[in-house]
Structure 1
């Protein structure tokens, strides 16, 4: 992991729009994007687009980022569909931790289609969800519809939020603090899930259905 791939300012200054699109694609397309700064990168790109002479104008971000997100989702889905559940035993998935993968599988089996849309807004979840959708046998057309909706909302919404806030002097002067807040908010669902799981184990509550049963536990309505 290098500063260039984890620092949004450095990445944008070095690679411009192509760097932004590459990160968005890899984060969901190759099951190795857990460490990439998706939310903070798009927010920073939006803030920088609010400058008088931006390197990447906001209209170009709004048009191209959702397309890269959709393409990444499709790649992740096909990866899961071709390799099946075994893809979650790869080195990339193991780096995240077995408990996180199991939790994502159980959540996906329970919530199905809604997960494809909502995962776009949650760090880590957006990396795993396309692969889980493909491995579980979700219909490609169904997955694509929810993927497009989520990618448009996230890929256009986060840069636009940065663009609107970029006109505020405090945001420009304290961008590092604002980015920390963005990252913290995106990690809240993950942290709540970890804490909730530990509390359940501490209280002796039974765990949800085993992740190995995912394909059989996927609701019929999402196939």
Structure 2
């Protein structure tokens, strides 16, 4: 089976090339990559969505000899453990790093803003961040650095991990042989997240607009 290089990825990061190169260690290698991409900042450049999608395709064609349900379960565990490691790194290292005096990039105010953000939107953020490349790597560290409630983070990290790997890997299993979808996985996933966020914001926007219309004009 031959597959075209995926858009935006160099050849050595192409999921098809990675899976093929790993041979009999492919499943273990995929789990390791997902773990690193979900929890270690240096893993932000690794393919996540595309790797899951192409892995699903490989399972469908028999190139990866593993049961789909078992594979998704293992991937969910790898994604969850990666997030918990990233949270722990942020929890332990974040405050000292962001508290350095005269810091130009890693300022303490970023932690304060993150704390307020995660306090208000943390549950949704932890789940949706799974579907956005780079963000899913950074968000988990920032959740730890901003001291997001560990129990809440653990629960929604698990939920987000199961939904993410389940949806993307299953999509690869059933839709991976469609060239347009296979070659534009990242763009499709990000577009889907944008649509979900936009629809979820509609009620709040309508409420805000109704309140604005209900305010009396200045001087009345």
Question: TM-score under structure 1 normalisation?
Answer: 0.67
By how many angstroms is 1:114 displaced?
A: 1.3
Separation (CA, whole Å) in 2 of partners of 1:32 and 1:21: 16
2:126 and 2:153 in contact (8 A); partners too: yes
Contact 2:175 2:181 in 1 (8 A): no
Q: Which residue of 2 aligns with 1:25?
A: 35
CA distance in 2, matches of 1:39, 1:137: 27
CA distance in 2, matches of 1:70, 1:17: 17
Spell out the pairing of 1:20-59 with structure 2 (5 A cutoff): 20-52=30-62, 54-59=64-69
1:34 Cα offset (Å): 1.9
Counterpart pick for 1:141 among 151, 170, 173: 151
Question: Which residue of 180, 201, 216 maps to 2:183?
Answer: 180
Greater radius of gyration (CA) = 2
Q: Which runs of 5+ in 1 are unaligned?
A: 90-96, 192-223
The alignment partner of 2:42 has SS state of: coil
CA contact (8 A) 1:122 1:187 kept: yes
Which residues of structure 2 form unaligned runs of 5+? 1-8, 100-104, 195-220
Indicate whether 1:152 and 2:162 are aligned. Answer: yes
Q: Partner of 1:32: helix, strand, or coil?
A: helix
Out of 150-159 and 107-116, give the one that drifted further.
107-116
* TM-score for both structures, normalised by structure 2: 0.68
Match of 2:85 in 1: 75
What is the number of equivalent residue pairs in this alignment? 174
Give the Cα–Cα distance (whole angstroms) in 2 for the partners of residues 24 and 155 of structure 1.
10
2:63 and 2:185 map into 1 onto residues whose CA distance is 25
